[in-house]
Structure 1
Amino acid sequence: MASLGRHIIVEYYNCSSEILNDVVHIEKSMEGAAEDAGATIINSTFHHFSPYGVSGVVVIQESHLAIHTWPEYGYASVDIFTCGDTVNPWVAYQILKEKFEAGHGSAVELLRGEKALLKERDFDIKAMRDEKSSEEGSPIRTRDVWFTERDDKIALSLKHDGKLYDVQSDFQKVEVYKTQAYGNLLTLDGMVMTSEKDEYVYHEMITHIPTLTHPKPKRALVIGGGDGGTARELLRHDCYDEVVMVEIDDKVIEACKEHLPGIASAFDNPKLNLIVDDGIKYVKDAADGSFDIVIVDSTDPVGPAEGLFTVEFYKEVYRILSDDGIMITQSESPRFNSKVFKEIYQVYRSIFGQDQVHCYLAYIPTYPTGMWSFSYSSKGKAHPLKDFNAEESKAFAKKHGLKYYNEGIHQAAFALPSFVAEMIS
């Protein structure tokens, strides 16, 4: 062979968009192509980006295969670089074309490292051996696959061992990843919703603060909350006669029952009335004053949740609350989604009254910036801090072994950083 290596620069057109956005499929296809071409795999690293796109590389003993995909165009760019004459890069080219269901592909081959221009040098191979290699010098194979949620300013990446659930519902893409740091992780349209390791922060804070400050709650409504965590926490309280949960997407419920059972543990509770329907429609049809607490456990204001961030919807929630009723919402990150955060507090106060709306914070590591806010809007005399029974809260948290909420956190959550207080003043 007159050169050290062969380099094929590849473009695949009119590929399956679904395949090009499936990081696990791409990883397996790239590794399979490398092995079938005769290569020895040392390491693979792949990242899935939100909402779409995959980048990755398979490091082989003979060099590498690298890829980046644009699912929105059905296009993939691939580099196949092999050293020596034991690997046939064109075998990998043909396999990937089939795996990506490409309409057509194009490739240019370059010969890299012309031997006529090179002179081989002598050096001590033992002194340069990688510590991770065995004594015989054989490489140790490793694997890195990453899910990445990002926008143009911020990103969160989590290493995972594959997808456990992947369904396009009538409303959104529902996926569950088996992450190494946070356990099973639910995403909707590529956005992190909840994980096994940190879900308790969100679910304890969105439920126990209103329940422990309402005079006597009997009936609660949860809009959204398809993972089941909010219902689970509400039903720790004996005071409720009924908890109604209205989730629009049955695939979210299915995914969480199968792969996040610790969060979805209350779906069989006899006090839970689970309704798969449009929460906006349900609220509009509900009777005046029919709920003591309404929790809007929604995703970000996009897709099926967009209608949950409107003046009309919040007015309807106000109507169906009892005289001392409380509305709780997840109200976005003050740092990450500042515009929405400020606007919705103006809306809440225009409906409930200037002094009837309160903001509180919790810290959730898998959410953008970690800082996350909740709103507490009171229709009557209920207040999050006045007449708060710290001893009752302490006893409740201890009895149920809560991991985040306690009497101190309850009070401290309403002590806002100055920049947050100024945003909603």
Structure 2
Amino acid sequence: MSEIGTFSGRHVLAELDGVEPRLLDDPEFLREALRTAVTEAGAKVIDVLAHRFEPHGVTVLAMLAESHASVHAYPEIGAAFADVFTCGERADPELAVRLLARALGTESVRTTTAHRGHGARQLVEPVGRGLSRSWTVEEVLFETRTPFQHVLIGRTAQGVSLFCDEERQSTEATQLTYHEALMVPPMLLAKRLRRVLIIGSSEGVASRIAADAGALVDHVDIDREAVRACAEHLPYGYTPEELAAAERGDGAVRVHYRDGWEFLGDCEPGYDVVVIDLPDENDDPAAQHNRLYGAEFLARCAAVLAPGGVVSSQAGCPTMWRNDTLITAWRRFTEAFGTVVYYGSDEHEWAFLSGRREPGEPDLRLEELAYRPETIDATALRGNTVPPLRVRASAPPGRGA
């Protein structure tokens, strides 16, 4: 008895804008561009057909051993729409779209990827030098490549989960532990809690925590598509209705789809807490978010603080085989601020740093906070604010808490 394999495939839809009109009205050019792109992406081409419409416009269809690819060109608007579907793992439809966009000299590309068929998908997340972990994604709820990152929302053993560029950002099971560790210490360290600025943190949980604590919140995120996808598909954070209100500036939270660096240059100062919650800092020179971890960015954040205000950031992992980012962040914070508080979550893998310009002994008293955390109590605050020895040893003498 023969065994029937599990069918699966990827279906990529793409909008390519800013293409020279004469290229979009050239059937032979488009035929060869599509043939070359899918071939270099690993597909086997059976045939390619092209048809030119009057007065202008071209459709090209490639029949593939793996399925199909097509391009519909609109010279009058300088745009083309691509559709690439491949079965199995040999061909890469996302690569085919990127190669096609390059051949057309495209100014901007917007893609959406859907996974067709049955069977769970394995997502491999790098977690350190020579190390990775594999997530079984039982169902993909949303996936696209925005202008800034690859975003996937799907069901895992930890519930609905968010991945950006193949890195887990949050899961339904553990997100509150993460977000309270991010938000509660800086809210306690700040002298007052009237205005909060959050940079990143697409899910919206951090904004809701700050608003529940009584603050007015400015939430800045460069990736509009990711924030809206989180509101639509995640069972935590913003609801679509809450996000729509925040986009209008209606309520305690206002959402700004802007670059965090630029926002700091023209915002009204006087924030009591500034929170930086971004994907992990890495050694990829093309990763635009890395500049939002450096000493200059910390200085820009500190410049918009009110007296007694606090800057806080997700700072990396304390495990000794993965602590380079944390040690670097600790050095930056202790050089930039007179008071630095470490908080290492005892039920998560991440550590967080909060800095206040004024020197002094931190006084973290939960009873003074209007927000009531579910994953942090007074004992946790006492036990989790001591940095690991290697981290403490990396700072200049007498700096940090």
State the TM bucket, normalised to the shorter chain.
0.5 to 0.7
Deviation at 1:414, TM superposition (A): 0.4
Q: Does 1:407 align with 2:378?
A: yes
- Equivalent residues in 2 for 1:288-299, closer than 5 Å: 288=269, 290-299=270-279
Q: Which residue of 2 aligns with 1:66?
A: none
Deviation at 1:322, TM superposition (A): 1.1
Change (3 A) 1:221 1:45: same
TM-score, L = length of structure 2: 0.65
Amino acid at match of 2:296: E
Deviation at 1:325, TM superposition (A): 0.7
Q: 1:259 aligns with which of 233, 247, 270?
A: 233
Q: 1:217 aligns with which of 193, 210, 222?
A: 193
Q: Is the 8 A contact 2:8 2:87 kept in 1?
A: no
Deviation at 1:291, TM superposition (A): 0.7
Distance, in Å, in 2 between the alignment partners of 1:147 and 1:101 is: 18
| Secondary structure in 2 matching 1:274 | strand
- Number of residue-to-residue matches in the alignment: 293
Change (3 A) 1:300 1:237: same
Amino acid at match of 2:354: Y
Deviation at 1:44, TM superposition (A): 8.7
Deviation at 1:423, TM superposition (A): 4.0
Deviation at 1:95, TM superposition (A): 4.7
Q: 1:74 aligns with which of 36, 41, 60?
A: 41
| Secondary structure in 2 matching 1:223 | strand
Distance, in Å, in 2 between the alignment partners of 1:381 and 1:236 is: 28
Q: Does 1:306 align with 2:269?
A: no
Amino acid at match of 1:315: A
Q: Does 1:359 align with 2:326?
A: no
Distance, in Å, in 2 between the alignment partners of 1:252 and 1:334 is: 28
Q: Which residue of 1 aligns with 2:166?
A: 190
Change (3 A) 1:171 1:362: same
Deviation at 1:338, TM superposition (A): 2.8
Distance, in Å, in 2 between the alignment partners of 1:273 and 1:404 is: 26
Distance, in Å, in 1 between the alignment partners of 2:218 and 2:361 is: 23
Deviation at 1:389, TM superposition (A): 2.6
Instruction: Give aligned-pair identity as a percent.
Output: 21
Deviation at 1:413, TM superposition (A): 1.4
Distance, in Å, in 1 between the alignment partners of 2:360 and 2:257 is: 30
Q: Does 1:334 align with 2:318?
A: yes
Q: Which residue of 2 aligns with 1:63?
A: none
| Secondary structure in 2 matching 1:342 | helix
* CA deviations over 1:302-356 (Å, ceiling 9, x no partner): 5231120122211111111111010100111133543332222222222223xx1
Amino acid at match of 2:295: V
Deviation at 1:243, TM superposition (A): 0.5
Distance, in Å, in 2 between the alignment partners of 1:221 and 1:271 is: 12
Q: Which residue of 2 aligns with 1:4?
A: none
| Secondary structure in 2 matching 1:331 | strand
Q: Which residue of 2 aligns with 1:380?
A: 358
Q: Is the 8 A contact 1:165 1:255 kept in 2?
A: yes
Distance, in Å, in 1 between the alignment partners of 2:360 and 2:202 is: 27
Q: Does 1:371 align with 2:349?
A: yes
Please, which runs of 5 or more residues in structure 2 have no aligned partner? 10-37, 45-63, 69-84, 92-117, 397-401
Q: 2:218 aligns with which of 244, 250, 255?
A: 244
Distance, in Å, in 2 between the alignment partners of 1:192 and 1:339 is: 19
Q: Does 1:274 align with 2:255?
A: yes
Amino acid at match of 1:285: D
* CA deviations over 1:162-220 (Å, ceiling 9, x no partner): 211111111111111111x1111111111111111110011111112222232322111
Cα RMSD of the aligned pairs, angstroms, is 3.3
Q: Is the 8 A contact 1:324 1:382 kept in 2?
A: no
TM-score, L = length of structure 1: 0.61
Q: Which residue of 1 aligns with 2:331?
A: 346
Q: Is the 8 A contact 1:222 1:294 kept in 2?
A: yes
Q: Is the 8 A contact 2:327 2:391 kept in 1?
A: no
Q: 1:204 aligns with which of 159, 180, 186?
A: 180
Please, which runs of 5 or more residues in structure 1 have no aligned partner? 1-37, 47-70, 78-93, 106-141, 365-369
Deviation at 1:261, TM superposition (A): 3.7
Q: Is the 8 A contact 1:297 1:329 kept in 2?
A: yes
Q: Is the 8 A contact 1:45 1:145 kept in 2?
A: no
Distance, in Å, in 2 between the alignment partners of 1:273 and 1:309 is: 23
Q: Which residue of 2 aligns with 1:283?
A: 264
- Equivalent residues in 2 for 1:61-100, closer than 5 Å: 74-75=41-42, 95-96=65-66, 100=86
Q: 1:324 aligns with which of 305, 308, 313?
A: 308
Distance, in Å, in 1 between the alignment partners of 2:390 and 2:300 is: 31
Q: Is the 8 A contact 2:221 2:258 kept in 1?
A: yes
Distance, in Å, in 2 between the alignment partners of 1:159 and 1:44 is: 17
Distance, in Å, in 1 between the alignment partners of 2:340 and 2:387 is: 14
